[in-house]
Structure 1
Amino acid sequence: MPIHVVTDLRAEVPSHLKKVPIPQLNRSSAVLGTCVKGKVIKKYPLVSLEEDDYVLKTVIQEHEDQLSLPPGSTSINAILFGPLAKEFSKTVNQGDLVVMAGFVVGRSPTAQKDGLHPCNLQLAGVDACIYVYPSSSTGSSTSTISALTPVPSAETTKPKYTYVALKDLKAGMIVNIYGVVTFFKQPFRTKGTDYCSTLKITDQSDIKLGCTIFSEKLEDHPQIYKIGDIVRLHRVKAQFFNGSINMVSTLGFSVVTFDGTVGSPMVPRTCSRSFHFSDEDRHTVERLRAWAASQSALPSMSSALLSSVRPRMYFDLTCQLLAKAVMDSSCTLLRVWDGTRCAEPLLNVSVEPEALEGSTAITGGRDNLVANVLAYDNHVEVARGLKPGSYLRIYNLHAISQSGDTPPGSGTGHLSFHLHGGTAYGRGIRVLPEDSPDLQELKRTLESLRSDPNDSSLVEVWCTPPESFDSDPENIATELTCDHTLSFVPLACVKKATPPEGFHVRAQLRSYQPERLHQALKLHCPECRTLQDVPDEETVSVLFQEALRGTESSREAWAHTRHLDSSDPGRKISLHLPSYGEKGNDELIFVEGATLEEVCRLSEGQRGMIPVKSSDRKLTLLDLSTPVLIHGSKRLYGCKRCSQVKWLEPEPEERGELNDRSIAEMLGVKLLQYVFLLKLELEDGSGSLDALLWKDAESFFCVPASDAAANQKMQDQIKQTMDRFSPPGGSLERPWLDLCLRSYTVEESGQQTVCYQIFNTVTRGAEHSSQL
């Protein structure tokens, strides 16, 4: 066989093979009696050319220590042909260690594009062979790691990485490195499909070099917040550029970033779900932190507070976003604050209220608290994706003095802040996570201002929705039905209040769940208070089919029986007619041996059909996962916990008027109730919160949940209502909603969570539309 899976390496690998490092390969290399050993880092799909003719491409990376290798690329393409390619596709997995022999060294046509070795390995015919050491065995058995090199002792099963000091880098090496960031640019889109980010790093050797990262995904780029952060780069390639060594990302590149402040938490910033970080790595980061703190030559951060900004300054601003608005295709307005008052008067940028997302209320002595930032050109895409309330760091912001709304004769300009286009000097925007150490001082400052009881102007900034309380009543899409005399309060105040408490709020709907509204229909047991999904059509249909297979042929126990032909000539549907109700449309019928579709069809025009099955010459209900009563598209379900299903008697006593409750009592079933359950994300400019629409949902929509479960038109009516509240596509033209909220606490796993629920609220016009 051309591929050998190695179980006993020393016996399997021919002793005459001589290992050649991948960087040493060239087109004139002698290949007879040589082999190459490496790890499979990329395996492409098998390509079938014609019958029994295949080709497969894979990438292997040199297995030896990078520092002991000669200069040159350590990763190379290997092209396999014929049966060897087919067997490789079945046998070898990414991560396996392979030894390749019997190859031909050719020129790689993709070397310029993929940055790999300028040659490739071509394997075909009887001379080619591959020895495979599966990754599962190499990780657990030291005896199968290599027969061509000394067997290392296994200190741990976790992977280990070798890191190279920046002074030891040579062109062509693919290495792992650590460094302290001295300069960086946020990722920007290239002319192709990739994003590109650049940074400069240094280490204790005092060598400074640039790094360029290309990736289609923004999350794969370094999450650098400030100069002094520490990065760990895996699988970067050293190459000469403009007379000096620079690093470029290669296949398999990954990066982890750490805060560079001495004593800060060792929290990695990475998009990878799993990565290796040992005590040795921790010590490396700590040593770099301590070294960087002692280096006065390292560039300092250019951050500044609004209170210290002067005209013509360029600075980095750490702030919170209050509101944003699209000015035109090349400019987006961001309104931000950092808790300090600017010493210079600030320019007021006029925006139409409907175009602004977030809070605009600034009054009484707070005119210099909120800064207007205009983001231009390539920064517009990032700016439009920001959410009010998020924390930002804006790099290389320019303070410009303008006379836009300066009083005549004052001689004083007003400051505006411009984030110019391009990425020069690291210009850009970064969203900071709320737990970032860099935000703790900012958050304390903002919180102290919010909690100042003597500062009524700041309450308006954070607690009053823009123009919402004074809106034209015709633009309010809901109305309150309660007798509360509560005043309207902003959501920010609701979130600060201690539950339980009631509120009147005016807010807009940002989003809702579930988006597929038929999933908002639930089944609720008022006795045990369980809540469950409505069984889907396919599941119920399968349960009916299973009942068909268990149906008995004898039914003499029933006095009133009809046999109807089904679509299957070998099967009969039995209708049992006990003395329930009057004959005709009020007749209750037990049906056995029918499919779900047949029961629904037969139930049209009847009081209802009860699906049953035979057991010991008696009839009983099907599994309670199926409906206990069907009337056309209307279906009633029973609670498995609370029901005590009875045997059905052939001649029951006469009963009074039939209704759902009496039928359920006769069957020994505790009926489940149809209810709506939606989670609404509300916002009003002061903040946002999630509120449940549940117990009062039927009155909110003016649609009974049981009717909506059986009536598609009513479901469409609810969908139209929600689309009006939260238009598809994220339209800014959303109506305001007057809502009555209640706060309460729920204890789960020993922790208490504050929740909010909507009560005593109806949709305007819903009552009329439900009668159409």
Structure 2
Amino acid sequence: MPISFLTSAGDSRTQVPPHLQQIAIRSLDLGLSCLDKFVKGKVVLKGPLVSMDNGKYVLKTVIQELEHQQNLPRGLSSIGAVLFNKLARDFSEAVNTEDVVLMTGFTLAPSPTAHKDGLHSCNLQLGGAGDGGGACVYVCPALNASRSPAHSVTRSLARHPARASETQVTKYTYTALNKLVPDTIVNIYGVVTFFKQPYRSMGTDYCSFLKITDPSSVKVSCTVFQGELHNHPQVFRTGDIVRLHRVKAQSFRGSINVTTTHGFSIVVFDGTVGSPVVPRTSSRKLHFTAEDEQTVERLRRWASEQTALLGAAAVRLADVEPRMYFDFTCQLLAKAEMDRNCTLLKVWDGTECPYPLLDVSVEPDAQHGSTAVPGCRKGLVASVLVYDDHIKMTQDLKPGSYLRIYNLHAVPQTTSAASPSGRSDHLCFHLHGGTSYGRGLRILPKDSPDLQELQRALELLPASSDDIADVSLMDVWATPPESLEEASCDAERTCDHTLEQVPLSSVTKSTPPKTFHTRAQLKTFQPQKLFQCLKLYCPQCNALQNVPDEEAIGSAFHRAVGTAAFGSEPWLLTCFRESTEPGRKMAVHLPSSSHNDQTSLIFLEGAALEDVCQISEHRAVVPVRWHDGKMSFLDFSVPVFFQGSARHYGCRNCSRSECREPLPMELQEWDEKKVAEALGVQLLQYMLLMKLELDDGTDSLQALLWRDAEIFFGVSAQDTATDQQLQDRIQRTMDRLCPPEGTMETRPWLNLCLATYSAEEAGRSTVCYQVLNTKTVCPD
């Protein structure tokens, strides 16, 4: 029998064949004979069961030696195991993470991922080559595991009924920081002495960095690699307590540090003595006992007596000095995007700066939120300019959020003023790029003592007689202006299929093509910058590309201005006009078929983007250049013709490169398709494309939304490209379906029509999912 259950992990020697001898994971080597050996460890990672094209199955798992085995010689204590066919299927149904397993009948093979995952250089292989070799897995289920209803598990519990009533919780062993040994997997506690906010690593993950200590007075560095920002440690200040499970100790330049490995998890606690012991974690499964609470309290008391651990307190606006760097706790009043590398935040903390503050102004339409404060005192509102890699953290910020900004720089800036010298210094605050000295910003959690102190300060702020009405700023911004929970938003199917509603677990197990009705919640979506979901699509060659931004289009026109040759044939008339760019001229060409009416095309050579936009308000404009005596399109990376605010792009692969003479026609009504056909252009169509991660508790999957995206949002993709109200409508819809600060429990359930299909990629067939025949129902 490939899977066999044991009654006790500690009594395994009396339940496995006596000729088998245990071997430590770190002692395994490719040249070693494993016929009479078994490996014992805890399952820390269990991969999915994968069906191969030949009808075979494969599953990968990772096992780690138990804590009481860690006194073995140094070496890696975790190893990957690859199971095949029937053994893989049985393992998938009967074994969970945290179970203790004994594996025998395995062979050793080089691990192709050892340099990435930090595991043993070998993999265990079981159940392959026709399922011969006597491979077997002995399992002792974790005492607190919720078992699958699979038949094999049920039979096991029937043989050992006492196990069904056991409720003992798995006990974790924690290692003091001065007892860490290189190349071991450990669990540790520590007090944070320094930290960096997550930043993009050289690969696909985000990286965050901590320095921690404990009563042994040893300081250890910890590097965390995780693909999602919410999985990183939620540390807000030095003195916070962290608990790390399954981290790997390493030796580096004479010191010990730790890094993440398979099965890693981290929990953070506020370090303030007397505050509630509330864990900060993104994990749905949390192992936390009364003993853990005692450990946190003990570390809090110890840290409170170490003055070196307290760190610098956050500075109030009233205490700021020019050129200083400081941590700042504040509330966001408004924000505005200055350019792609800078975002403006308008913030306050209820205190007044003793120095004049620079008022960075933007257009009212570009600003989200309001800076109206009690008494309209300008010294209360600070302008913070956020640069470079911190821009991502500002994108989802909502006015009213409470922030902690780390290593903020008070920069004196000279401005013209009514003073004897005619100049005056005003303070502006810069959050420079990079993560040096812990630079970054975070939204404060609701249980943060700093947030509660800030709220009390704002509530006590005296109101001024100049305030409008009797409503204080706290009434407006202490909570979002519209509660997402009150504004219901869901989705309903528009198809007439008579299908039974099924869970996502049934969808993911199906063989495409097939259509399903299901009900799920939106977990995440991409792209997060919603303007990036607008794409250009060629219906002829199926090419897909992003819509160029204004800067890229302007640069293309600027290059063309400098290379204009100003030809004349085959066009009827050429006249020259001053361009908006100083010292430049542009040529206006009319086709010979033109009657010079207000609906005919004109062709501009040597024009700047501003020229085209001005003229296109009255005439349809085709930007061109002169090449080898012929008129050609300017560049297919820019629109091939403009009409008012509409911009029409052509496919580089399916369009002519030369402008051909348009046939005589009267454009009494604007028809871009007729114009494109006359010019020899294959038009690109605007479309919306998003990837939605859906979850219903039984399973999760990623589905594309594109073919019926216009139905889903109730908008036209082409109109959305030029209509800010439609863009705002999509933003409001996504904010309600997937609130940036909400939890899965508060998100609406969506009734969806899902289709599965196969797609070929690099010679391999992949199962894909698509949302069809579904529309959102949101109050506007």
SS at match of 2:309: coil
Could you say if the C-alpha distance between residues 203 and 137 of structure 1 is closer, same or farther in structure 2, counting changes exceeding 3 Å?
closer
CA contact (8 A) 1:6 1:131 kept: no
SS at match of 1:260: coil
Q: Which residue of 2 aligns with 1:349?
A: 360
Alignment equivalent of 2:135, drawn from 122, 129, 132:
129
Q: Which residue of 1 aligns with 2:442?
A: 430
Paired with 1:281 and 1:407, the residues of 2 have a C-alpha distance of: 62
Matched to 1:350, the amino acid is S
TM-score normalised to structure 1 length: 0.58
Paired with 1:298 and 1:439, the residues of 2 have a C-alpha distance of: 21
CA contact (8 A) 2:190 2:212 kept: yes
1:4 matched to 2:4? The reply is yes
Paired with 1:439 and 1:724, the residues of 2 have a C-alpha distance of: 40
CA contact (8 A) 1:226 1:301 kept: no
Matched to 1:435, the amino acid is D
Q: Which residue of 2 aligns with 1:241?
A: 252
CA contact (8 A) 2:95 2:141 kept: no
- CA deviations on 1:652-695 (whole Å, 9 max, x unpaired) are xxxxxxxxxxxxxxxxxxxxxxxxxxxxxxxxxxxxxxxxxxxx
CA contact (8 A) 1:96 1:134 kept: yes
Could you say if the C-alpha distance between residues 463 and 438 of structure 1 is closer, same or farther in structure 2, counting changes exceeding 3 Å?
closer
SS at match of 1:283: helix
CA contact (8 A) 2:191 2:239 kept: yes
Matched to 1:456, the amino acid is S
How far residue 204 of structure 1 moved from its aligned partner, in angstroms, is: 0.6
How far residue 106 of structure 1 moved from its aligned partner, in angstroms, is: 3.1
- CA deviations on 1:216-275 (whole Å, 9 max, x unpaired) are 111111100101101001111111223321111111111111111111211111112231
1:492 matched to 2:492? The reply is no
Q: How does 1:95-106 map to 2 (within 5 A)?
A: 95-106=98-109
Alignment equivalent of 2:168, drawn from 141, 157, 178:
157
- CA deviations on 1:175-196 (whole Å, 9 max, x unpaired) are 1100000000111122332111
Alignment equivalent of 2:295, drawn from 268, 271, 284:
284
Q: Which residue of 2 aligns with 1:183?
A: 194
How far residue 197 of structure 1 moved from its aligned partner, in angstroms, is: 0.5
Alignment equivalent of 1:275, drawn from 252, 275, 286:
286
Q: Which residue of 1 aligns with 2:235?
A: 224
Paired with 1:716 and 1:221, the residues of 2 have a C-alpha distance of: 36
Could you say if the C-alpha distance between residues 442 and 62 of structure 1 is closer, same or farther in structure 2, counting changes exceeding 3 Å?
same
SS at match of 1:382: helix
- CA deviations on 1:495-540 (whole Å, 9 max, x unpaired) are 99xxxxxxxxxx9999994446989xxxxxxxxxxxxxxx998899
Q: Which residue of 2 aligns with 1:439?
A: 451
Q: Which residue of 2 aligns with 1:727?
A: 725
Paired with 1:111 and 1:247, the residues of 2 have a C-alpha distance of: 17
1:456 matched to 2:465? The reply is yes
- CA deviations on 1:732-771 (whole Å, 9 max, x unpaired) are 999xxxxxxxxxxxxxxxxxxxxxxxxxxxxxxxxxxxxx
CA contact (8 A) 1:139 1:157 kept: no
Could you say if the C-alpha distance between residues 79 and 512 of structure 1 is closer, same or farther in structure 2, counting changes exceeding 3 Å?
same
Matched to 1:424, the amino acid is S
Instruction: Identify unmatched segments of 5+ residues in structure 1.
Output: 146-151, 465-489, 497-506, 520-534, 543-712, 735-772
Could you say if the C-alpha distance between residues 194 and 90 of structure 1 is closer, same or farther in structure 2, counting changes exceeding 3 Å?
same
How far residue 362 of structure 1 moved from its aligned partner, in angstroms, is: 5.2
CA contact (8 A) 2:7 2:140 kept: no
Q: CA RMSD in A?
A: 4.3
TM-score normalised to structure 2 length: 0.58
Paired with 1:541 and 1:244, the residues of 2 have a C-alpha distance of: 60
Matched to 1:36, the amino acid is V
Paired with 1:114 and 1:350, the residues of 2 have a C-alpha distance of: 49
Q: Which residue of 2 aligns with 1:762?
A: none
Paired with 2:479 and 2:189, the residues of 1 have a C-alpha distance of: 44
CA contact (8 A) 1:233 1:256 kept: yes
Could you say if the C-alpha distance between residues 231 and 379 of structure 1 is closer, same or farther in structure 2, counting changes exceeding 3 Å?
same
Q: How does 1:327-366 map to 2 (within 5 A)?
A: 327-361=338-372, 366=377
Q: How does 1:321-400 map to 2 (within 5 A)?
A: 321-361=332-372, 366-400=377-411
CA contact (8 A) 2:143 2:168 kept: no
1:261 matched to 2:264? The reply is no
Deviates more, 1:266-275 or 1:226-235: 266-275
Paired with 2:15 and 2:492, the residues of 1 have a C-alpha distance of: 62
CA contact (8 A) 2:96 2:145 kept: no
Could you say if the C-alpha distance between residues 537 and 403 of structure 1 is closer, same or farther in structure 2, counting changes exceeding 3 Å?
same
How far residue 81 of structure 1 moved from its aligned partner, in angstroms, is: 4.0
Q: How does 1:655-670 map to 2 (within 5 A)?
A: none
Paired with 1:493 and 1:85, the residues of 2 have a C-alpha distance of: 55
Matched to 1:4, the amino acid is S
SS at match of 2:400: coil
Paired with 1:281 and 1:541, the residues of 2 have a C-alpha distance of: 47
Q: Which residue of 1 aligns with 2:586?
A: none
Could you say if the C-alpha distance between residues 262 and 357 of structure 1 is closer, same or farther in structure 2, counting changes exceeding 3 Å?
same
CA contact (8 A) 2:50 2:57 kept: yes
How far residue 406 of structure 1 moved from its aligned partner, in angstroms, is: 3.6
Could you say if the C-alpha distance between residues 518 and 220 of structure 1 is closer, same or farther in structure 2, counting changes exceeding 3 Å?
closer
Q: Which residue of 1 aligns with 2:322?
A: 311
1:39 matched to 2:42? The reply is yes
Q: Which residue of 2 aligns with 1:73?
A: 76
Paired with 2:145 and 2:376, the residues of 1 have a C-alpha distance of: 67
Structure number with greater Rg is 1
Q: Which residue of 2 aligns with 1:596?
A: none
Paired with 1:541 and 1:362, the residues of 2 have a C-alpha distance of: 55
Paired with 1:261 and 1:337, the residues of 2 have a C-alpha distance of: 24
Paired with 1:103 and 1:343, the residues of 2 have a C-alpha distance of: 73
Q: How does 1:641-680 map to 2 (within 5 A)?
A: none
- CA deviations on 1:543-601 (whole Å, 9 max, x unpaired) are xxxxxxxxxxxxxxxxxxxxxxxxxxxxxxxxxxxxxxxxxxxxxxxxxxxxxxxxxxx
Could you say if the C-alpha distance between residues 126 and 6 of structure 1 is closer, same or farther in structure 2, counting changes exceeding 3 Å?
farther
Alignment equivalent of 1:23, drawn from 23, 26, 34:
26
Q: How does 1:476-515 map to 2 (within 5 A)?
A: 492=476, 513-515=487-489
Q: Which residue of 1 aligns with 2:112?
A: 109
Matched to 2:136, the amino acid is I
Paired with 1:211 and 1:23, the residues of 2 have a C-alpha distance of: 24
How far residue 723 of structure 1 moved from its aligned partner, in angstroms, is: 14
Paired with 2:469 and 2:210, the residues of 1 have a C-alpha distance of: 42
1:63 matched to 2:75? The reply is no
Q: Which residue of 2 aligns with 1:643?
A: none
Q: Which residue of 1 aligns with 2:215?
A: 204
Paired with 1:438 and 1:219, the residues of 2 have a C-alpha distance of: 21
How far residue 445 of structure 1 moved from its aligned partner, in angstroms, is: 0.9
Matched to 2:196, the amino acid is K
Matched to 2:254, the amino acid is G
Could you say if the C-alpha distance between residues 511 and 402 of structure 1 is closer, same or farther in structure 2, counting changes exceeding 3 Å?
farther
Paired with 1:47 and 1:495, the residues of 2 have a C-alpha distance of: 47
Could you say if the C-alpha distance between residues 306 and 105 of structure 1 is closer, same or farther in structure 2, counting changes exceeding 3 Å?
same
How far residue 282 of structure 1 moved from its aligned partner, in angstroms, is: 1.3
Paired with 2:142 and 2:724, the residues of 1 have a C-alpha distance of: 51
CA contact (8 A) 1:92 1:134 kept: no
Q: Which residue of 2 aligns with 1:472?
A: none
Could you say if the C-alpha distance between residues 728 and 215 of structure 1 is closer, same or farther in structure 2, counting changes exceeding 3 Å?
farther
The percent of aligned pairs where both chains have the same amino acid is 52
Paired with 1:26 and 1:12, the residues of 2 have a C-alpha distance of: 26
